[in-house]
Amino acid sequence: MGAGAERPLVDGRHGTADPDELYARGKAMRESAPPASHDHEAAGARRPDALDFVESSNEGRLENLIPLRIGRMASSPFAFFRGAAGLMAADLADAPVSGLDAQLCGDAHAANFGLYGTPEGNIVMDINDFDETVPGPWEWDLKRLSASLVLAGREGGVSESDCLESAEDAVKSYRRTMRGLAELPFLRSWNALPDSSVLSKAKAHDLIDDFEEAADKARKNTSAKVTAKWTRHLDDHETGTRRHRFVEDPPVLTHVDDATVDAVHEGLRSYVDTLRESRRNLIARYRMSDVAFRVVGTGSVGLRSYVALLHGNEDEDLVLQVKEARPSALAGYLDLPPAEHQGERIVRGARLVQAETDILLGWTTIGGRGFIVRQFRNLKGDIDPTELRGNHLDDYGRLAGALLARAHARSIHPRLLAGYFAEDEDLDEAIGRFAVRYADQTEADHAALVTAIEQGRFPAELDD
């Protein structure tokens, strides 16, 4: 290559190609997977029986918490959907795809978009769950988001036409955002923060009040608030000192034995090495005071999940979540090699996808199992999609679609997808129809679970 010629910095990346060539390459992929092909049947050829899926997904979980997991999944079709990412992966395994892969959230349903604080204390909204993250077809995340909006809307009493519109508008917003990112300088598109300004960009003006209310709550959601609610200074009669300890609130928060405390402590010591260097110095200033077991989520119920209470400067407390990391439910349908460490898989996926990641996000191993470690509830909040009405759900769909596009643009060149979309609105209606069809399928799966509980096949417990 002679002087003055353009030279790639990294071989084999899309960035080495001419932008017009990338657009043309993406547009050519419409021939093998035209937008209309995404309007396909809900149930895929590799779909297992829904009840068999639920049963197999309980394997490896703590037996005493399985009834609680079943109870939460049975509470509504949307709750069932939240616990069944692997079932949808089976349904999508043989569906048409463009051939363009992104780093997937893997479980991009509407309740997995939340608010959290940046290191500077700014409140942003982004995807906030990466348990299933793997490289895969971008369509999988978008279809899961769209179907979840229909289910969330139905649970909230939204009209069927508004549910469909919210699903279609999520796709439309995804397309428009991706096309916009394709035109921006790389540094601007990469560093675009999903703060409150994203509402205007996504044309989600009706959500302004919902966003501000959730942001106000997030600002108050600190480790100090958690410790004020869940911990007490208790007298330790053996040592004659006062210990800062979690107070039980079963079944959600329970004490663990000394062996578990020791194992979590050792796990946190090795976790420090997974942080960036300056953050290792930060976390090293804290001292661990207590560990408790805490039940979280719907799909995660039954996994080993701990909260660790750390003491810092003066009256400062820090609460870390130490959560078991299982293999992604999508991996078996994407012909991916096994991850060497499931916690590392999740953390690296989050770091690639999120605009700003928790500065204390890392991974560790405890008892031969992979775990992720992150701050617990620090400046975190959410907008519950099941409580949104009409135009607000539609705006939420546009917001989530824009956030998903920004997340995918970190791992797939937006020029490729801009070419695939090529100003075509057929995709919106195609995925919208699929979303309604998949919501119907999920309602049938949920009904089957409720019947199986009534017939005694599954034990179920309800939250207090």
**pLDDT score of 11:** 65
Instruction: Give the pLDDT confidence score for residue 23 in this predicted structure.
Output: 94
Predicted confidence (pLDDT) at residue 412 exceeds the cutoff of 80? yes
Other CB atoms within 10 Å distance of the CB of residue 262: 11
How does residue 327 score in pLDDT terms, banded at 50, 70 and 90?
Answer: very high
Q: Would you say 132 and 106 are in contact if contact means Cβ atoms under 8 Å apart?
A: yes
As a whole number of angstroms, the distance between CA 285 and CA 22 comes to 48
The stretch 257-277 carries a mean pLDDT of 97
Query: Which residues, listed in sequence order, are joined to residue 231 by a DSSP beta bridge?
Result: 246
What angle do helix axes 390-408 and 160-183 make, rounded to 10 degrees? 30
- Residue 128's pLDDT is what? 93
Query: What region does 40 belong to: left with phi over 0, alpha with psi -120 to 50, or beta?
Result: beta
Asked if 204 and 399 touch (Cβ cutoff 8 Å), the reply is yes
Closest CA to 333 of 133, 102, 86: 86
Residue 284: half-sphere exposure toward Cβ, Cα within 13 Å: 11
User: Can the peptide bond before residue 251 be classed as cis, meaning omega within 30 degrees of 0?
Assistant: yes
Q: What is the pLDDT of residues 119-157, one digit of tens each?
A: 888 899 999 999 999 999 999 999 999 999 999 999 999
Q: Is the predicted pLDDT of residue 306 greater than 90, yes or no?
A: yes
Q: Is a pLDDT exceeding 80 seen at residue 15?
A: no
Judge contact between 50 and 448, C-beta under 8 A. yes
Instruction: Indicate if the pLDDT at residue 71 is higher than 70.
Output: yes
Q: 329-369: per-residue pLDDT in tens?
A: 999 999 899 999 999 999 999 999 999 999 999 999 999 99
Which segment of 236-245, 255-264, 292-301 scores lowest on mean pLDDT? Answer: 236-245
pTM exceeds 0.85: yes
Residue 239 has pLDDT above 70, yes or no: no
Average pLDDT over all residues of the chain: 92
- pLDDT by residue (tens digit) across 370-382? 999 999 988 899 9
pLDDT given for residue 198 in this prediction: 83
Residue located via tokens 């953390």: 347
321 in Cβ contact with 374 (< 8 Å): yes
pLDDT at 242: 60
- Segments making up each domain of the chain, as ranges: 18-219+383-454, 222-375
For position 463, what pLDDT does the model report?
A: 77
Buried-exposed string 54-69: b where 16+ CB fall within 10 A, e elsewhere: bbebbeebbeebbbbb
Q: How far is it, in rounded angstroms, from Cα 334 to Cα 104? A: 12
Of 192, 119, 122, nearest to 357 (Cα)?
A: 119
Residues of the chain above pLDDT 90, percent: 79
